[in-house]
Structure 1
């Protein structure tokens, strides 16, 4: 053999291991993902969002060491449709899931298996996938999380369970557990992380907290709040039941603290395993929550917290209910840490929504979205990396409530204005000037000021156009 040929052959053989190493390293460099989703967490219920009374050092750590998203929203302010939008990047009205799924009255309702989720695309790309916690997208076997991309599931398929000693699905069996659910769910998530530490893995850690019931919690979570005098948002609201708001706020804070304590366990484990730098940790919630804001409690299906209930103008809405698309119900506390790509202390002020997680997580994992999959959201990785992006800060939102009241609320929010029209209640609409009235206290829907009338007309047109785009026939003819 010619010397040059021999030399070239030896050189190619020498390079083969290096090439293989590069291929393996490229695969290994795909980030692990831990997606922490709390249930019913107000945008004001975290230290990093400005609450000085609620101590959340681990939530704050994610924000401090990564990016805080100050204008993160959901498109439906209630559990099941929000979770459906999260995994599919579609509106609940497109999926037939418009209110929380009641397994007793709606046992056959759920997220259809033929719908593509970002979880299954990660699974197909080689990610080990686990859901620990709450699903609430159908209890029938055909809607099981393992039919939607999860290799492993433990937790609850329906909407809730007691905070302690609950029955959970573990290894395909219903098991009566002993202990606090927030701790047990975290235990299983940590086990999965340990088993798949070489990655890449996805852990969806869906806590039931701070959903009611808030107590009992561990003493270490309850005692710091047991005797505080919580600051409440609307203490001068006429007929507000201040004592109930304060009592419930104390209990609610303890439940938030139990999440934060367990979040600390997760962050510590990543440090111990040496995989924190290339692990994306996302902290967010399935929707916002009223803790006395507007004299309300709960989310988009809120109740009045008054000593006397107001008269109700609409027969389809009971007096105790206050269906709403307020920012307090739509905005969620959100932070993302990924040391390998996101600079510590990053602040993202652009408006993002839960529709955006689908393209964002796939972009992080370098997984392409199939051409035949409809995605309503946008990739926010450039925002997280601090890049200048031409970004549309408008938000379309919806909630067709049918548990406890009947509504077809559709809304459009810009940085300056928000319009809500309830097509199930003729005449029920709300218009807020968010620049001068960010707390949404003064409804301008009946204003005859030309500027305000023009804004209302413009926003209503945007609502109807979006409804037509997504095939929402609830009210397009009205």
Structure 2
């Protein structure tokens, strides 16, 4: 006969052990924090060589983990880039090829594809999106329907950088304060309430998108009296470019300060060791480089005026910062020179977290997560990209980029195709398909275009169809 006191002791031991077992299970599964800024070029970060910008906490992630020197995006504008980041599909496949306007959002534009947060949620992760969405405003496109258990932020493309209007617990509210501060306040609260289970947090800032300010004085103070050192393209007004970049830098620093708050919270909660922190941007930026404003849909700004649009896929528009920290896995000071893209993120996240890919789900890109574990990853021989501008202009761009060359095809436009020798001209200042050099480089362009077309066929790119408009 079993001693009743012994049986009761065993039962109590099991009951009291359950929380510890639960915590142990959570500790065995890594957490994920994905931080994405809006419009931050790779050049706008100290770790990539900018000695004037104040980004100690963005730099900290890379110094304590890994820095990727050749990270790109598949398209140079926000909505399609964010859709690609979450879905592993190209913009034309998603039917999101330019930023989603308010009119398009009301007409039903939005992200329909499965996202990697959905997969993580199905595998027991607590998921959250805090900040910018811009992938549909109708109910079926709400973050709650796309794999995020918690949402606080804004569905449209933006809100004010100070005293913003936000969706909080399903209700629209106007909040007082700096937007990055408010977003990180909520991010810290989410981490505190989710710390006993594996969590995945997507923290998507609006900054440093225009308008750059106002920002808290402590963020702009870094640049008081500083003469910003930026490349000055012939025709632009130097002081105007310097002032724009000074305001832009202050916006970046407002994000950086808050990243510092988040990293400190991870340390205090003893979560840092097994949390993969990813920092990147949705695309690059020019702000005077190449003589244009903003990104892939920038305007010429010669003479100090806003000129015609200059659709582009220069590296300044598609090259982004990408740093990661994961103390349990990544050795501090690691550098990866492999070419990676935001089209890879779906496969990368699942690979890093050891979660199988959903069956029969078509994904592009490569899983380069083995690099984090000291193992080889698939080698990318060519990078592909696309951009269809239809808001306030019209352009159809397709790109192939190898380590040595970049070719950009401008469909439905004459004499606009571009070819750059990235070895001798990394700044992409000389288009080799100009009239005086075209005959020497046309064969090279033709070979690259053949590869480009093969890729376009593989994704059923509609631009190859005669009726595409």
Shorter-chain TM band: over 0.9
SS at match of 2:448: helix
Structure 1 alignment gaps of length 5 or more: 1-13, 310-317
Question: Could you tell me which residue of structure 2 aligns to residue 241 of structure 1?
Answer: 237
| Aligned: 1:293 with 2:289 | yes
CA displacement at 1:25 relative to structure 2: 4.1
CA displacement at 1:133 relative to structure 2: 0.1
Alpha carbons 1:232, 1:291 under 8 Å: kept: no
Distance 1:274 1:448 in 2: 59
Distance 2:242 2:23 in 1: 55
| Aligned: 1:282 with 2:271 | no
Question: Could you tell me which residue of structure 1 aligns to residue 215 of structure 2?
Answer: 217
SS at match of 1:72: strand
Report Cα offsets for 1:230-249 as digits up to 9, x if no partner.
0011x2x3211212111100
CA displacement at 1:476 relative to structure 2: 5.2
| Aligned: 1:302 with 2:323 | no
Report Cα offsets for 1:245-277 as digits up to 9, x if no partner.
111000000000000000000000000000100
Distance 2:304 2:278 in 1: 41
SS at match of 1:322: coil
SS at match of 1:367: coil
CA displacement at 1:425 relative to structure 2: 1.3
Distance 2:313 2:287 in 1: 15
Cα distance change, pair 171–463 in 1 and its aligned pair in 2 (3 A): same
One of 237, 254, 257 as aligned partner of 2:250? 254
| Aligned: 1:462 with 2:451 | yes
Alpha carbons 1:101, 1:109 under 8 Å: kept: no
| Aligned: 1:363 with 2:351 | yes
SS at match of 1:68: strand
One of 388, 395, 413 as aligned partner of 2:401? 413
Matches within 5 A, 1:311-390: 319-390=307-378
Question: Could you tell me which residue of structure 2 aligns to residue 3 of structure 1?
Answer: none
Distance 2:23 2:259 in 1: 31
Alpha carbons 1:68, 1:334 under 8 Å: kept: yes
Report Cα offsets for 1:143-166 as digits up to 9, x if no partner.
100000000101010101110111
CA displacement at 1:50 relative to structure 2: 0.7
Report Cα offsets for 1:161-193 as digits up to 9, x if no partner.
110111100000000111111100100000000
CA displacement at 1:306 relative to structure 2: 1.0
Question: Could you tell me which residue of structure 1 aligns to residue 164 of structure 2?
Answer: 166
Report Cα offsets for 1:107-155 as digits up to 9, x if no partner.
2343344x21100000000000011000000111111000000001010
SS at match of 2:36: strand
Question: Could you tell me which residue of structure 1 aligns to residue 266 of structure 2?
Answer: 270
- TM value normalised by structure 1: 0.91
Report Cα offsets for 1:377-424 as digits up to 9, x if no partner.
211112233434451241101000011210110010000000001113
CA displacement at 1:23 relative to structure 2: 9.3
Alpha carbons 1:406, 1:424 under 8 Å: kept: no
Alpha carbons 1:346, 1:386 under 8 Å: kept: no
Output the aligned Cα RMSD: 2.3
Distance 1:220 1:266 in 2: 18
| Aligned: 1:48 with 2:47 | yes
SS at match of 2:166: strand
Worse overlay, 177-186 or 441-450: 441-450
SS at match of 2:442: helix
Worse overlay, 365-374 or 410-419: 365-374
CA displacement at 1:291 relative to structure 2: 2.3
- TM value normalised by structure 2: 0.92
SS at match of 1:193: helix
Question: Could you tell me which residue of structure 2 aligns to residue 39 of structure 1?
Answer: 38
Cα distance change, pair 127–222 in 1 and its aligned pair in 2 (3 A): same
Alpha carbons 1:360, 1:381 under 8 Å: kept: yes
Task: Indicate the structure with greater helix content.
Answer: 2
Length, aligned pairs only? 453
